A and B are shown apart, each in its own frame.
Chain A
């Protein structure tokens, strides 16, 4: 399972779901030593990490970047938004001045990972699982994923 690599509750980070360099640091010394056949699960989802008073309040699942590109949010950083008012986002109560960090996967980064795995996992075949196929993010990026998988095959 090559996702959810860090605790989302840490405020000062870019992405807790996936980070190529971090994933490699976990894999590099262990991949060849593992005695059994491996299957690989890769992320195909996105979410918003909701912070209130500097502490994580919850995860807003199945949201895409466009959900945050609206006037009720103030744009702080490329993936950080601050609420300008109180409202419900996907049934999730958002208070004024709450922060949301949008986290998703960059498909080219996944391509790099698959290339690395293909090179380092010495198996006849390698099964790749994508989580999750019904996510809004996956549907939006369906073509990119399809291209990555077809290249892999």
Chain B
């Protein structure tokens, strides 16, 4: 009531807007979560919501006291704190106004004032008191900061403030304990002290117990969960590795490709010694919540690859569930699911036959579907995905993957072959997907399009056209489908307009979603939409969609084959052939092929290094092969250059030769930086020198040179003489069309004058 009253007063006093900081971030990255442990089931309701995902940093998230208070009220408190002149003014204000309240910001300022008073008076002969009996001290300040942990999300704030104090003064923690007025306060102070150590160990938990901390408190439960999460984090890559079920093997050597920076279980003996300490502590611990204790013991045994012990502990929990207890039906059901799930995790390491594997996938899917929605984590699906990857069952792995990171897109686009894609397509079409709600609404079309594009990139134009036409039956899909390479929840979201239709494809958005921000020459997002894009041939601009583009590509290649199949080819036909090659070169140079853009201009790097760690389960050789295949298929830039060279080889026409050579020169002078398989700088430089010399020696008299090339002073600076060279791969010039220096015969001039005179006479006589 008092709090509400003060809030209304403060509104009247401070009507102007003010700044109050909200959340702040120190960039700390110790972000551990328990992959398969639903910690929130075992916590009381007050912490239950905070423990979603079992992420320790979510429980103790980085908040400031300003989160709990209105801006205006915060301003009043800040003002009182900062402008009161002496720290004891705020101390007195707090004692009179807030002593028994739970105002977090006021408590923080009070603790800060105590520290300031100590700091200001430490050299004084007098002793200053914060109340009748307590002299000012840093320990009392720390005690008050610690009390903020009643709101667990304040830990980061507490940590920062106590660390600040500890940077200046040595703290006697035993003295801090003396300020605690009850058991709960002592638990809080001991918890804060334990948390300040960073990584929690059995020794820290033992100290908590030794100092009189309550092992049945919420805080101690959190410390247990935190410790378990930290060990799980250390062993994570062993858990996900191939050899986890054989703990007696020596250091597990994971494939080196993506894992250099990770810590392994056997990296230092101290880690294993600490783990042994923790196991021992858990085995001797006797907390009231036996469900939590035995589940934790089982989970820790599982982390140690002691599956037998883990199963025993889980069995014990099941037995406890059957015996009389005071758990609600809901909690009982949740613990039962947790135990079933933990058992099935162990199963995943022990499967040998195909039959047991199939059964496992079925059981796992059923259990995941039973887990309450609010407890579901991605790591639950990863169990199925990883096992399927180990067995190279890509179709099942895909069904456990997600588009929310790059898993599903990478599987579809890079790792799966056509057979896998068709299997997935049939599963989706027949509505037999294990978790259909995890995929986009246009899932079926995405796969169809992927198959079509794979066919296109392998020059199987007929099949590609068939698949694109299938997409085209639904007039929208051809334009709308595309793979959401970047995490883009908007794209995956429900309907944007019209029933059942996914959002407008955000290809442009994807393309400009780059790590360095801003645009680059990677993607021309006005002309190169994936579903509607332009190909430029000199001054002609043709608009395509995927289907019309593929059809035109096919038509061009057929025309080329038709001309080539003739026994005799005329000069005109040769020039026509060269023109077709040139058009193909333009088509292969469009951004339609350049998926690299969609990867934010970092595809070569992304494909190699931004894999899901679990993909290493497929084996380094397998992954490397797939990556190379993918990059080769998507390397249409090289194909474009090859077609341009073919055009040069084919034609005799000097004007065309000048143009094609100039186009080739442009490619070498400004090679695209973001495509796969782009040309190395040294090759580009040497090639451009050769072509420049060639143009200068052979095509300087062409109209194309005079009208276009000579304008390009970057390539051909005026007044610079370029050495003449012999041509490389082209035929002798036969017909030069001279425009400006052409000499006209006098007979023709006389004939023209005569003709014009006759026309004039006829015209006048008629009039």
Contact = CB atoms under 8 A, between A and B. Distances in A.
Contacts of A95: 197-199, 201, 203-204
Nearest to B208: A86
Contact of A86 (B167, B204, B267, B273): B204
B274 A54 contact: no
A97 B197 CA distance: 13
11 contacts: A53-B268, A53-B274, A54-B263, A54-B271, A57-B198, A85-B203, A90-B170, A91-B169, A93-B196, A95-B203, A95-B204
B285 to A, nearest CB: 17
Interface residues of B, number: 24
B504 interface: no
Interface string A104-129: 00000000000000000000000000
A contact patch SS: loop
B274 A96 contact: yes
Interface in A71-97: 82, 85-86, 88, 90-91, 93, 95-97
A116 to B, nearest CB: 38
Interface in B444-498: none
B707 interface: no
A52 B198 CA distance: 10
A99 interface: yes
B171 A99 contact: no
B198 A86 contact: no
Interface in A42-61: 52-55, 57
Contact of B198 (A54, A85, A93): A93
B173 A88 contact: yes
A97 B203 CA distance: 9
Contacts, number: 56
A55 B230 CA distance: 14
A97 B270 contact: yes
Nearest to B196: A93
Contacts of A54: 263, 267-268, 270-271
Nearest to A98: B270
B contact patch SS: helix
Contact of B207 (A53, A86, A91): A86
B234 interface: yes
Contacts of B197: 86, 93, 95
Contacts of A52: 198-199
Contacts of B378: none
Nearest to B166: A91
Interface in A25-67: 52-55, 57
Contacts of B685: none
B274 A97 contact: yes
A94 to B, nearest CB: 8
Contacts of A91: 166-167, 169-171
Given A91-B170, A95-B199, A53 B204 contact: no
A53 B263 contact: yes
Nearest to B271: A53
Nearest to B173: A88
Nearest to B207: A86
Contacts of A90: 170
Most-contacted residue by chain B among A55, A96, A98, A99 (CB, 10 A) = A96
Given A54-B263, A97-B270, 9 more contacts: A53-B268, A54-B270, A55-B263, A86-B197, A88-B171, A90-B170, A91-B171, A97-B203, A97-B273
B203 A86 contact: yes
Nearest to A82: B270
B277 interface: yes
A47 to B, nearest CB: 15
Nearest to A57: B198
B270 A53 contact: yes
Contacts of B277: 96
Contacts of A98: 270
Contact of A96 (B203, B263, B268): B203
B734 to A, nearest CB: 63
Most-contacted residue by chain A among B197, B202, B274 (CB, 10 A) = B197
A42 B204 CA distance: 40
Interface in B59-107: none
Nearest to A83: B203
A96 B203 CA distance: 6
Nearest to A92: B166
A69 B197 CA distance: 22
Most-contacted residue by chain B among A52, A54, A86 (CB, 10 A) = A86
A98 to B, nearest CB: 8
Please provide the 5 A-B residue pairs with the shortest distance between their CB atoms, ordered closest to farther: A96-B203, A54-B268, A91-B166, A97-B270, A93-B197
Contacts of B201: 86, 95-97
